Amino acid sequence: MNTSAIVQTQNLTKKHGSINSVNKVDLYVQEGEIYGFLGPNGAGKTTTLKMLLGLIKPSEGTINIFGESLNKRRSTILQRTGSLIESPSYYGHLTGLENMRVMQRLRNVPDKNIHEVLRIVRLENQKDKKAEQYSLGMKQRLGIAMALLAFPKLLILDEPTNGLDPAGIGEIRELIKSLPARYGITVLLSSHMLSEIDQIATSVGIISDGNLLFQGSMESLRKKGRSAIRLKTGDNTKAEELLLTQGYSLTKGGSRLEFDNLADREVAEINRLLVEHYIPVTRIEEQKKSLEDIFLELTGKERSL
Amino acid sequence: MIKTLGLEYYKIRRKKIWLMITLFLGVEMLWAFMSITRSIAKNPDHAVWESIVFNISSMNGLFMPIISAIVVSRICDMEHKGATWKLLVATNVRRGNLYAAKYICANSLLLFGILTQAVMMIVFGLMKGFPGTPPIEILLQFIVVNLLTTLAVTALQQWISLAIKNQTFALCLGMLGGFVGMTAGLFPGEARHIFIWSYYLDLSPVTFHYTGSTSLYITQPVGAGIVLFALAMTVLFYIAGSIHVSRQEI
C-alpha cells in the first residue's frame, strides 16, 4: 500500500446482475493532484465515485482513502471529504444560506466558512433566495459551495461544470485549479468532456465500459500522441513496393502512405528515393494525434465527448 | 443523534407543517363538536365527558391516518426532491440516525396535534357545562393510545415514504388507512385487529353501547393484548423500514 496516495483502490468492482459496471479498477490519486476521471457517459465514473463515498457497496475490491480502509474508518474519512455527486443536492424550500447552515451543522464549521465559500462561488448576493428559484448553474454553484464548506482534504466532484454557462465553466475551472495550492485540497473530478479534463487535471484516469484503460499524468497521455507522416504519390502501389524493399515499414497503405515516427532526415530520404524512381510526390503531410484521437483509440469508440 | 434531530426541525421550517396539522385537526374537532351538539340536543343524557372522547376517538380513525401520511410524506419527500439523501450520507450522517430523527420529528408534531385535541376537548366540555371536572385519567389514556397507534401508523408510512420516491403511494396508503379506520367498527373484532388504523377506535377508553332502545357511553379498560399487538406492529414496521431504507443503494 502506497502511503502517499490519497485515494487508492484495488480490484474495485461493481456488479449489476451479470454486468460489471465497474471492473477491477485500480485508482491511484496522489496528494495535491487534480485527478481527472474521464470516460464516456455510462462508463462507470459515477458508480466508482459513489463507492468511494460509501453510497453504494462494491461487489469486490478494496478502497483506501488517506491510507485508511473505507470499510473500517468510513466516519473519519468522510469528515475530511467533500463531495458533489451527479446533480447538486439542496433543500428547495430553504434559501441558499439556510442550505449552507444545514451543512454547517453537519460539519461543525464556523460562520466565516459559509461567507467565504459563498463568495468563492459568487452566490453571496443570492444567498437569501430560495434554492428552488435558482438557475441550474446557481444550484451547481451551491452544490460546490456545500462540498467546499469545511475545506476538506479531498474533494470529489462528479461533472462539476454541468449546467454552467461558458463564463461559469471558466470560473469553476479556475477555482478548482487553485484549490490544491490555496487550500491543500486534493481534487478528484469526473467528466465526459476531454477538453475540460485537459485544461484542469494534472493526472488522468480513462474509464470505458467499467474498465480503467489508462492512468497517469496528463503529460504521459499527451506523449501517446505520436506524429504520423502521410504521403501521396502519383503511383502509391509502386511507391509502397519500393519503400518496403528499402526497409521502411508503413502503418497504412492505399490512397495515403502513412509512417509513424519518422525523423526529418528519413522523410527527405523517402522523398529523394521516390523522385529518383520517377514517382511524383504530390503531398507530404504531418499528422499529430489529438487527445481526442488518443481517447477514441483507447476506448475504441466513436462516441461524442 | 441529537444533532440529526435538531437538523430535522431546522429543515422543516417554511413547510408550515404545524399550521397544517392545526387546521386539519381543527376541521375534525369542529365536525365532532357540531355532531355532539346535535346529539345532546336530541338526547341531553349525552352531555357527558365520555361522549366527546368517544366521538374524537372514532373520528381520529379517519383523520389521523391521513394527517400522519401527509406529515411523514412532507418530512421524507424533501430528501427525494432535492436528492439530499446522498448528501447527508456522504457527510457522515448514519442512515439509522437519520431514519430515527425523521420518525421522532414526525411523531412529535403529531403528538402536538393529539395534545391540542385533548385541550380542545376540555374547553368544549367546560363550555357545554358537562357535569364534573374534566376526566384527567380518561384524557391521559386517550393521549397515550392515540400516540401508540400513531407510532405504528407513522412507522409504516415512513417506510413507504422513504422507500418509494413517488409520494402518491404513501398518500394513497394514508387514505386507505383513513377509510379502514373510519369503517373499523363495522368489521368483526378478529379481522379489524389486523389493521393498525382501526386501533384508534379499538383502544379508545370510551365505547358506545346500544341497550334496547337507548344508548350510552361507557368507559372500557384498555386490553393489554391489543396494546402489545400495537407495540409489536410499531417495532416490526420501524425495524423493517429502517433496515430496508438503510440498505438501499443511493
φ, ψ for residue B111 (rounded to 5)? -65, -40
Provide the Cα torsion A104, A108, A111, A115; round to 10°: -50
Return the number of other C-beta atoms located less than 10 Å from residue B186's C-beta. Answer: 9
B180 and B195 in contact (C-beta within 8 Å)?
A: yes
pLDDT at B10 over 90: yes
Nearest Cβ partner of B90 from A85, A92, A105? A85
| Chain B residues contacting A via beta carbons under 8 Å | 3, 6-7, 10-11, 13-15, 78, 81-84, 86-93, 249-250
| Number of C-beta neighbours around residue A302 at 10 A | 6
**A106 and B7 in contact by Cβ < 8 A?**
yes
Indicate the SS3 state at residue A61. Answer: strand
A117, A261: one domain: no
Give me the residues of A, 103-142, that contact B with CB < 8 A: 103, 105-107, 131
DSSP of A123-183: -TTSTTSBGGGS-HHHHHHHHHHHHHTT--SEEEEESTTTT--HHHHHHHHHHHHHHHHHH
By C-alpha distance, the chain A residue nearest B76 is A91
Separation of alpha carbons B176 and B62, rounded Å: 9
Across the interface, of B3, B13, B92, the residue whose CB is closest to A78 is B92
Predicted local confidence at residue B40, as pLDDT: 86
Residues A14 and A132 in one domain: no
The answer to whether the CB atoms of B84 and A79 lie below 8 A apart is no
A248 and A211, same domain (yes or no): no
∠A192-A198-A204 over CA atoms, to 5°?
75
Within a domain: residue A2? yes
Q: Averaged over B184-195, what is the pLDDT?
A: 83
What CATH number did the domain enclosing A269 receive? Answer: 3.30.70
- Confidence bin at B131 (pLDDT 50/70/90): confident
- Is position A299 within any domain? yes
Q: Which helix (H) or strand (E) holds A285?
A: strand A281-288
Average pLDDT over residues B101-124: 94
Same domain flag for A256 and A203:
no
A193–B contact, CB cutoff 8 A? no
B165-171: long-range contacts, CB 8 A cutoff, minimum separation 24: B165/B80, B167/B73, B167/B76, B167/B77, B167/B80, B170/B69, B170/B72, B170/B73, B170/B76, B171/B69, B171/B70, B171/B73
C-beta separation of B50 from B141 below 8 A: no
Nearest to A233 by CA among A254, A250, A263, A252: A254
Q: Residue A94 and residue B13: Cβ atoms within 8 Å? A: yes
Q: Please answer yes or no on whether A89 and B87 come within 8 Å at the CB atom.
A: yes
What residues of B are in contact with residue A89 (Cβ under 8 Å)? 82-84, 86-87
Residues of chain A with pLDDT under 70: 1-3, 226, 252-254, 301-305
DSSP codes of every residue in B153-206? HHHHHHHHHHH-S-HHHHHHHHHHHHHHHHHGGGS-HHHHTT-GGGHHHHT-SE
* Backbone angles phi and psi of B221, in degrees to 5: -70, 145
Residue-number span of the structural domain to which B56 is assigned: 2-247
Residues A98 and A172 in one domain: no
Residue A15 lies in a domain: yes
DSSP state, A210? T
The reported pLDDT for the residue numbered B249 is 82
Identify how many contiguous H helices and E strands chain A contains and give both numbers.
Answer: 11, 14
A90 touches chain B (CB under 8 A): yes
Q: Are residues A220 and A162 in the same domain?
A: yes
Q: Is the ipTM of this complex over 0.90?
A: no
**How many independent structural domains does chain A possess?**
3
Query: Domain tally for chain B?
Result: 1
Q: A233 CA to chain B: closest CA distance, Å?
A: 60
Taking CA–CA distances from A77, the nearest residue in chain B reads B92
Is A55 close to B6, i.e. CB distance below 8 A? Answer: no
C-alpha distance from residue B202 to each of A83, B100, B115, B225 (Å): 50, 27, 19, 12
The CA distance from A125 to the nearest CA of chain B, in Å, is 21
Specify whether A52 is located in the same domain as A175: yes
Q: Is residue A203 part of a domain?
A: yes
Q: How far apart are CA A153 and CA A123, in angstroms?
A: 23
- Which residue segment(s) compose the domain that A232 sits in? 226-288
Check if the beta carbon of residue B29 is closer than 8 Å to that of residue B56: yes
Number of residues that this document lists for chain B: 250
Q: What is the pTM assigned to this prediction?
A: 0.83
Query: Which domain-ending residue is among A149, A178, A197?
Result: A149
DSSP per-residue codes, B64-114 = HHHHHHHHHHHHHHHHHHTT-HHHHHHTT--HHHHHHHHHHHHHHHHHHHH
A54, A55, A102: residue with CB nearest B7: A102
Domain co-membership, A245 together with A257: yes
CA atoms within 13 A on the CB side of B171: 11
Q: What residues of B are in contact with residue A103 (Cβ under 8 Å)? A: 91
* Cβ contact B90–A83 (<8 Å): yes
CA distances from residue B165 to A254, B15, B67, B70, B152 in whole angstroms, order as listed: 59, 19, 19, 14, 21
Q: Write out the H or E segment, with its range, that includes residue A11.
A: strand A5-16
Angle at B115 between CA B111 and CA B119, to 5 degrees: 170
With CB atoms and an 8 Å threshold, state whether B250 touches A131: no
| Partner-chain contact A89 B84, CB within 8 Å | yes
Assigned domain for A85 exists = no
Contacts of A213 (CB under 8 A, 6+ apart): A206, A207, A298, A299
In this structure, what DSSP letter does residue A226 have? -
Closest to A190 in 3D by CA, of A81, A75, A64, A48:
A48
**pLDDT tens for each residue of B192-247:** 888 999 999 888 888 877 777 777 778 888 888 889 999 999 999 999 999 999 98
**A256 and A297 together in one domain:** no
Q: B103, B71 in Cβ contact below 8 A?
A: no
How far apart CA B11 and CA A98 sit, in angstroms, is 9
**Are A82 and A156 spatial neighbours (Cβ–Cβ below 8 Å)?**
yes
Q: Tell me if A88 is assigned to some domain.
A: no
Q: What is the pLDDT of residue A305?
A: 45
B69 within 8 A of B159, measured Cβ to Cβ = no
Query: Which helix (DSSP H) or strand (DSSP E) does residue B150 occupy?
Result: helix B136-163
Q: Looking at the structure, tell me whether residues A231 and A211 fall in a common domain.
A: no
Residue-level pLDDT at A253: 64
Nearest CA in chain B to A139: B82
Instruction: Report pLDDT for A304.
Output: 44
Query: How far is it, in rounded angstroms, from Cα B68 to Cα B76?
Result: 12
Residues A15 and A60 in one domain: yes
- The rounded distance, in Å, linking the Cα atoms of A22 and A14 is 5
CB contact under 8 A, A105 and B7: yes
Whether B122 shows a pLDDT value over 80: the answer reads yes
Phi, psi (degrees; rounded to nearest 5) at A253: -110, -155
CATH code of A194's domain: 3.40.50.300
- Per residue in B90-108, pLDDT tens? 988 889 999 999 999 999 9
Residue with C-alpha cell 466558512? Answer: A113
